[in-house]
Amino acid sequence: MSTTYFSNFLESTKKQFTYYRLLGNRTFDQVSDTDLFWQSPSGNNSIAIIVNHMHGNMMSRWTDFLTTDGEKDFRNRDQEFEDLIKTRADLMVKWKEGWQILFDALDSCNEENFNQLVYIRNQGHTITEAVNRQLAHYAYHVGQIVLIGQMRCGKNWKSLSIPKGASKDYNKIKFAKQKKRGHFTDEFLDGEIGNE
């Protein structure tokens, strides 16, 4: 494995995770306290329940990431889907704690340990596989959070991406610039898009 691949993978992965964390944060900023706990008539998960599940998953998967199975004895997955979070403050504590342990675990990866296997329920994963598994999982749930936010805010929703009907203008600006190496999240993280 080359040093370039290792550093590029970790840098890109951290940016992707940061992007999804920010999508969640910008959704929380737009919805009311009541909307955090809203459930559809069919009983789908609320934003708070999704956050509680993500927190439980993150604490299990990323605690001692390189040395213990990602499905920890302390995890109670079924309980993650109960109404345990009662306030916005509690939700934000769990949200921040989950992401912090994730980024701490990524920081523990280096060229010396990058080829070791990580186990989840006794199934061996390369670090790349384990990270990609969780990246896809969290993107799935953050998408649910954003969708609920859009539904609850209605016309007051502020786009987290290129606003509807603005793609041609956005592309015109982008293609007027010189080609350069970059990550697609850079503009979002810098506030160039999704911050109107």
Summarised one tens digit per residue, pLDDT across range 140-181 is 999 999 999 999 999 999 999 888 888 998 888 889 988 888
pLDDT band at 20 (very low <50, low <70, confident <90, very high): very high
How far, in Å, CA of 185 to CA of 159, rounded?
15
Cβ neighbourhood burial of 130 (10 Å; 0-12, 13-18, 19+):
buried
Average pLDDT over the chain reads 92
* Nearest one of 173, 172, 166, 168 to 194, comparing CA atoms: 166
- With a pLDDT cut of 90, the percent of the chain lying above it is 77
Q: What is the reported pLDDT for 194?
A: 55
Give me the amino acid identity at 100: Q
Q: Could you give the CA distance from residue 140 to residue 97 in angstroms, rounded to a whole number? A: 19
Residue 191 confidence (pLDDT): 63
State the residue for tokens 């790349």. 128
CATH topology of domain 3-157: Four Helix Bundle (Hemerythrin (Met), subunit A) (1.20.120)
How far, CA to CA in Å, does 150 sit from each of 124, 163, 184?
38, 13, 23
pLDDT value at 113 more than 70: yes
What are the sequence ranges of the domains in the chain?
Answer: 3-157, 159-196
Q: Is residue 1 over pLDDT 80?
A: no
